[in-house]
Amino acid sequence: MANHLYQGDLPATLTLGPVVAIDTETMGLDPRRDRLCVVQLSDGSGDAHLVQI
């Protein structure tokens, strides 16, 4: 189980498979006002891929 942290975008070489779980974090609770800051992806293998926006 490993955590992989990326800045800005995922690498073009990353392959996650046909099914991916996605979680997002914002700076607050109002999606019209508060910006996206982190996207977390997992393909069920135990590894987490985090993109810091």
**Digit-coded pLDDT (tens) for 8-22:** 999 999 999 999 999
Looking at the predicted structure, is the pLDDT value of residue 24 above 90? yes
Domain residue spans of the chain: 3-10+18-52
16, 43 contact by CB (below 8 A): yes
41, 21 contact by CB (below 8 A): yes
Q: What is the per-residue pLDDT for 26? A: 94
pTM of the model: 0.84
Q: What is the per-residue pLDDT for 18? A: 95
Looking at the predicted structure, is the pLDDT value of residue 31 above 90? no
Q: What is the per-residue pLDDT for 1? A: 87
